[in-house]
């Protein structure tokens, strides 16, 4: 979609947040989503659907409360599995806003709008603060499970917003923290949001380590 363009898009609410550039494996078994994927894979022009986080409720059965910001998922592979299931490989593409939820018949559908980053650059101080917090977190995590270090900001490519999404994909963030990163309007705002999320994860890990006997 062009920036700000709207379209109707099949939607897959999940208990997880998909970030741009993130790989998403899915096992599809519910009839409404099987129908949705059959629709998407019927034509090369349809190989996309939207992913939003379920704020309240369950993935199976409907009746869930959904967030209004998500990511377009492009289907990269689809194969059938025993029991009528479909195994999908997907990758996150552009960020979207949900303008309107349409009737869930036969599967969730929404009118969505492309939501690109506004031009902006994070301050050097914000980048330095984020780098310090990531270093602290990876030092703590390595004492627990030998976790690999996250890449340094200067080693990453792409726009500042894309770099922040890359870090959010590889760091151990929960769904709500990832949602805050996704919904930060600009790169300048995304970097301090990510720094606060990393700081919260590090604080929880310090608490766990301090409680070890």
Q: What is the mean pLDDT of the chain?
A: 89
**Which region, left, alpha or beta, applies to residue 194 given φ > 0 means left and ψ of -120 to 50 means alpha?**
alpha
> What values do phi and psi take at 159, rounded to 5?
-70, 170
Residues with Cβ within 8 Å of residue 22, at least 6 apart in sequence: 71, 91, 92, 165, 169
pLDDT tens per residue, range 66-83: 899 999 999 999 999 999
The pLDDT tens digits of the residues spanning 13-30 come to 999 999 999 999 999 999
Helix (H, G, I), strand (E, B) or coil at 186: strand
pTM of the shown model: 0.89
């Amino acid at each position: 979609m062009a920036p700000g363009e709207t379209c109707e898009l099949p939607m897959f609410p999940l208990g997880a947040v998909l970030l741009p550039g993130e790989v998403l494996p899915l096992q599809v078994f519910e009839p409404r989503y099987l129908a949705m994927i059959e629709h998407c894979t019927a034509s090369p022009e349809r190989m996309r659907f939207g992913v939003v986080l379920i704020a309240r409720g369950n993935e199976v059965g409907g009746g869930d409360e959904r967030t209004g910001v998500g990511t377009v998922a492009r289907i990269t592979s689809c194969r059938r599995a025993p029991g009528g299931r479909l195994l999908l490989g997907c990758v996150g593409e552009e960020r979207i806003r949900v303008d309107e939820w349409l009737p869930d018949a036969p599967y969730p559908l929404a009118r969505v709008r492309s939501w690109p980053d506004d031009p902006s650059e994070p301050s050097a101080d914000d980048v330095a603060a984020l780098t310090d917090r990531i270093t602290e977190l990876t030092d703590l995590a390595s004492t627990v499970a030998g976790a690999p270090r996250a890449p340094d900001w200067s080693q990453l490519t792409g726009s500042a917003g894309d770099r922040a999404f890359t870090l959010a994909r590889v760091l151990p963030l929960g769904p709500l923290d990832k949602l805050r990163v996704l919904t930060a309007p600009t790169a300048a705002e995304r970097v301090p949001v990510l720094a606060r999320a990393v700081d919260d994860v590090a604080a929880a890990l310090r608490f766990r380590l301090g409680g070890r006997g």
